[in-house]
């Protein structure tokens, strides 16, 4: 699994193209020649850009679902709705289709948030609203999500 990191502010041009910042291009160097998958986020009004290796890993999990179970079939349909295969152009730009641009309410001011092997593509204002949470609320969330895990004896807590 790729371990992409970084938050980058970018501009989308009038044709719906976003140039990948140099720091992301460096992290994606082994993947740059492959296609990418662009899709709607499940939980947020943003898009997710998957290097093909990461997309294949996700789809390997999805493909274990039984399509003859209605819930599974509905999930697969919704999860893959609007999925686009995209390639970077010669200037390392990714093009955003009008339907995905509308889904994420993207303006010209964009934030690329890289983590967990994917790059989230946010409208800048929406991203700021999503991460602008009270520190006490984040502390409670961190405790709820990570507090039950026991670190190994060699790790600091």
Asked if the model's pLDDT at residue 68 lies above 60, the reply is yes
Report the percent of the chain where pLDDT is more than 70.
Answer: 94
d(CA 97, CA 39): 10
* CA dist., res. 144 & res. 135, Å (int): 14
Range 29-45 average pLDDT: 92
d(CA 140, CA 1): 28
| % helix, strand, coil for the chain, step of 5 | 35, 25, 40
Q: What is the mean pLDDT of residues 37-46?
A: 96
Domain map (residue ranges) of the chain: 6-146
pLDDT at 86: 96
Q: What is the pLDDT of residue 134?
A: 76
d(CA 78, CA 74): 6
Per-residue pLDDT, 20: 95
Mean pLDDT of the region 74-102 = 95
Distance CA 28, CA 48 (A): 15
Question: Which two tokens mark 94?
Answer: 């990714």
Helix (H) or strand (E) holding 59, with range, is helix 52-62
Residue with tokens 């800048």: 124
Q: What is the architecture, at CATH level 2, of domain 6-146?
A: 3-Layer(aba) Sandwich (3.40)
pLDDT on residue 11: 97
Does 83 score more than 80 pLDDT?
A: yes
Give 21-34 pLDDT, tens digit per residue.
Answer: 999 999 998 888 88
Supply the pLDDT for residue 10. Answer: 96
Confidence at 149, pLDDT banded by 50, 70, 90? low
When the pLDDT of each residue in the chain is averaged and rounded to a whole number, the result is 91
Pairing of strands 17-19, 93-95: antiparallel
What pTM was estimated for this model as a whole? 0.89
Query: Which positions ≥6 away from 44 have C-beta within 8 Å?
Result: 120, 122, 130
**How confident is the model at residue 4, as a pLDDT?**
92
């Amino acid at each position: 699994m790729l371990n992409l990191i970084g938050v980058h502010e970018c501009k989308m041009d009038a044709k719906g193209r976003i140039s990948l910042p140099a720091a992301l291009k460096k992290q994606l160097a082994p993947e740059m020649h492959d296609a990418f998958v662009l899709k709607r986020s499940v939980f947020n009004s943003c898009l997710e850009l998957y290097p093909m290796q990461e997309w294949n890993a996700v789809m390997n999990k999805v493909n274990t679902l039984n399509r003859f179970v209605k819930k599974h079939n509905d999930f697969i349909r919704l999860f893959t709705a609007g999925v686009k295969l995209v390639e970077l152009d010669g200037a390392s730009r990714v093009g955003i289709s009008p339907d995905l641009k509308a889904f994420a309410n993207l303006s010209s001011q964009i934030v690329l948030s890289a983590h967990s092997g994917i790059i989230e593509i946010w409208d800048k204002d929406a991203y700021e609203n999503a991460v602008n949470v009270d520190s006490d609320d984040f502390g409670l969330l961190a405790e709820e999500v990570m507090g039950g895990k026991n670190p190994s004896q060699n790790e600091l807590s």
